[in-house]
Structure 1
Amino acid sequence: MQRGQSHLGNPFLSPDFTLAMGEVDRRVRVAVARDGDGIAGFFPYEERSGVGAAVGAWVSLCQGVVHRPGASFDAAALLRACGLHVWEFGCLVARQPWFDPYVTLTQDAAVLDLADGWPAYLRELRGRSPKFLKSTLYKERKLGRDVGEVTSAFAVDSADEFALLRAWKSQQYRRNGRPDRFGRPWVVELVERLHAVDNKDFGGVLSMLYVGGTPVAGHFGLRSRTTLIGWFPAYDPRFAKYSPGLIQHLRMAEGAAEAGLETVDLSVGAGYEYKEALASRTVPVSEGVVRRRTARAGVHWARTEPVRLARRAVLGTPAIHRLADRALKTYGRRRSR
């Protein structure tokens, strides 16, 4: 089903991701939908007392029904069959019209097109974002002159370097006033399991940037046969003036192209200038909540809707979003000190 429909080729929709989540969280389920022609689709979800969420919702960057071409579903009937009163989604894959009435916010994900190879993408980037590319390449050369030779690796199997990347990311979360994903044991167990998987259909990819052989930036993402998903980028803050994260993203894209991947999906790019600069195009990503007409769904609405409305107002108003972001970073810096 995924191979036959490119928009479903996201590795977060892969059975491998759902199986890995099922090994770290007993609440993971998969509904198998059938019709007169056999299996019509698969609906992975997590269940908490009748309230459903996407599998690995706190870290997942793509959700939805993986289905046979042409299949159609009724969202309320799907939930009823699963025993769910509510299903919340945060990164709904495109072309799932049965969930359209329940979408509350749509944002654009930044996508790099590598199907024609690295030289073609680089030419396109130079024409679209010349200042960004020139500045990033200049900082890469300066880093090489000031510190040491700059090199990169696309797929790294080092457990020590993966642990170093997670430590950088945890520090970044705290500096920015965000919850530390890697402060949760199940997230660490999940990504370590995924890092151990490496095949052309699915796997965790650790890419690293080095200066004089020392790691200075890195990224851990998931890949499918055609797509690499941006997930956990981080860098050593001691080298911040050289923008090692930008250099690493550029070299990661080069490595992905050389590995035969056709796209790099950096997820939602609002407020991230580097994503907007690198993107060849954007694709819509939606969030929302499906509720059946039940008492339990009503209680869920009363408990969660005020927060959802406030978040939508922040994300939908750039000035408020910038103010909130600055407030979180100020809080993070104080907490770090």
Structure 2
Amino acid sequence: MYINLGGQPAMLISAAFALNTIGQFALVALLATFLLSRVVYHCSPVLFNLLLVCLAATVPQYFLMYAGQIYNPNPPAALCATQAALVEGLHCAFAVVSLCLVVEYLAESHTISSKTTRVRYLKITLVALPYLTFLPFSLGVGAYGVSHPGDVRHMPNDLTCTLQNRTLITGTRIVIAILVIVTLATTGPTVTTAFAVIHTLTTRKHLFCKRLPPPSLSRVARIASFALFQATLLIFNVLRTYVASDFLRVAYMVLQALTPLITALNFGSKVECYQAWKSAAIGLSRDWFSKRSCQGTSTADARQEMRIVVDKSVSVVVD
């Protein structure tokens, strides 16, 4: 089944599954930090949505592993169709949500001039757009898989069930490629605008006019690096679909397994997150030591009470 994945394919599959699981825990920790921490004051709803979509996309990739069908060349048709539909839909949603992140930054930096109410509606649209993209692609692939169960198969050297229809697959890849290209094309002017605004604010401090708010260069760098990583992932995905190469299969499998961890590290490597994790670790350690000290004190008190009871129970009988 996995004869072209090296001499020990089981170890490679287990390593990819372990990396994916570690990335899932990292995304859950980052989402919990954004939700519950008092140190992280601002969390973009589109960024939170991106992390949520990335976490959701890591689950259906290993449906066969969860069901114990990873080495079965003919898994159940319903499981295969469900996995193929979710994977294709979430791939499109994942490409859309990164573009939404760039558009949100352009709106917040007033590069896209709009009123406050329009910005509010724009954010609602950017949050809902990935799910509106997921539904038609997922439902379309799912309907085709139900009507043509023979075209959805677990192919050799692949961890997921895939749709064996070149027209639909090519159309999906073209849509994802357009979204990634637009994201990269929009990220370039975003970086240029950020540096230009920084230069304007530092060289014209006494200029009395309405300026753009100072952009966050680290935020721009995170968006740009994530867009580049997504483009690399798309290139490997397209190449492995149309080029029969063992290296491309293994490289794409490793990149796909590293996607949640890289996403969590890219958007979670901030001072606010480090402070939140540090304070949480200090609080947990204090609670643990206080519980240990309370347990030790209660044990000592119990021993002292036992001694007192024993001493009181001793009586002297005089003949």
More strand by share: 1
TM (norm. structure 1) is 0.24
Greater radius of gyration (CA): 2
TM (norm. structure 2) is 0.25
